[in-house]
Chain A
Amino acid sequence: MTPAPKTYVRPMNRWWMRHPAYRRYLLREGTSVMVAAYALFLLAGMVCLVLGETAFNLWRGFLQSPVSVIFHLAALAAFAFHAWTWFKVMPLTTPPLRFRGRPVPDRMIFRAALWAWGIASLVLLVLAMRFL
């Protein structure tokens, strides 16, 4: 058997600098950190609710602060981008869908997801305005 030739393996350092698609991917995944941060923030609110009225009012008071407003705006932007990019890749993750014997085009799945998102947000907004 001939010996394996000497080869050179290039390092992967700064791999995300090599292609814009890698940076878009990291941005998409990075926004999930904000999604997690917002979930923790809501959890903190729940803990305050359990602790009692004083704690919950403190948490509600913090909601009015500029830091909280900036955090919520940043979270909204991150959520919107995260949802948009996930709807974009959604057709790749669904099982093969057919309508009247023909495959459902990717853009239909993307648009359906956008509509569902829009309607769900609207319903939530109406309910919030009605009951809060």
Chain B
Amino acid sequence: MSQTRTIMIECLRYDPEQDQAPHYRTYEVPFTDEMSVLEGLQYIKDHLDGSLTFRWSCRMAICGSCGCMVNHQPILSCQSFLRDYYPARIRVEPLEHFPIVKDLVIDQSDFLGKLESVTPYLVPAQPLTPEDGPNLQTPRQIEDYLGYAQCINCLLCYAACPQYGLNNAFTGPAALALLARYNADSRDAGQKTRMEVVNAEEGVWGCTLVGLCSEVCPKHVDPARAINRNKINSTQDYFLRFLAPFGRGS
């Protein structure tokens, strides 16, 4: 059993029924070496203040529910340990750039709309039935999209992206990475439908390559790469339109 120490956790609090603006409350939390930030928050809820509200589910960086800001860095609270911050106090806030519903809970509906807009599913060239058998891929074809397919929709990348914060019309990192994921899949023929999202001002061109989205991604999806590679496709699409005015995009 490791030794118990005490860390100060400063938490953003916002109750829409009481507060005009958020404020901070500090809690003294006893912790052991193996305790995550999420377990620190759970200690507060169980022992110090039952009204503290936050999302969590799997506790093992799979579900993507427990994203929050710790000292202005977007993290999964289940994956970050209190021992790494001690003896400094930590400041826990909801994910940046999203409307706060209550305490650490944010409203994700803007992202969910954007996710829907990128057609995040396979669009086969011809309708297939189970009788057509499995849709086989080579390991190389899987490699083309597997990295992008690791996204768990935790929204850390949106909290890291100042362009999304300044103008939330921007489609944003995770949605554009998932767009790249389906475009790169050999079983998919939906590139043309997605090109409209890519080419839009708020599509890939809304990205100025700050690059923090890729650094904070807990699943190493690398949205910055996905977006900037699609800038090449968007440029090609733009110029090919002049070469074949009656073909593409007409």
Contacts and interface: CB of A to CB of B under 8 A. Distances in A.
A21 interface: yes
Contacts of A22: 162, 210, 212
B14 interface: yes
Size category, B interface: 20 to 34
B57 interface: no
Interface stretch (B93-101, B114-122, B195-203, B242-250): B93-101
B211 interface: yes
Given A8-B100, A21-B212, A92 B165 contact: no
B206 to A, nearest CB: 15
Given A5-B101, A6-B16, A93 B165 contact: no
Contacts of A12: 162, 165-166
B239 to A, nearest CB: 15
Contacts of B208: 25, 29
Contacts of A89: 209, 211, 228
Looking at chain B's contact residues, the main secondary structure is mixed
A100 interface: no
B139 to A, nearest CB: 11
A96 to B, nearest CB: 7
B99 A19 contact: no
B165 A15 contact: yes
Contacts of B14: 8
B79 interface: no
A101 B143 CA distance: 12
A7 B211 contact: no
A5 B16 contact: yes
A93 B227 CA distance: 9
B72 A7 contact: no
Contacts of A130: none
A96 B229 contact: yes
B211 A92 contact: yes
Given A8-B100, A93-B228, A95-B229, A21 B211 contact: yes
Contact of B229 (A15, A18, A21, A93): A93
Contacts of A25: 208-212
A5 B103 CA distance: 13
Interface in A13-36: 15-16, 18-19, 21-22, 25, 29
B99 A15 contact: no
Contacts of B101: 5, 7
A21 B72 CA distance: 11
A22 B210 CA distance: 7
Contacts of B17: 6
Nearest to B213: A21
A28 to B, nearest CB: 9
Nearest to A86: B209
Contacts of A6: 16-17
A10 B72 contact: no
B99 A9 contact: yes
28 contacts: A5-B101, A5-B107, A8-B14, A8-B16, A8-B21, A9-B100, A10-B100, A12-B162, A15-B166, A16-B162, A19-B72, A21-B210, A22-B162, A22-B210, A22-B212, A25-B208, A29-B208, A91-B225, A92-B211, A92-B214, A92-B222, A93-B209, A93-B228, A93-B229, A94-B229, A95-B229, A95-B232, A101-B140
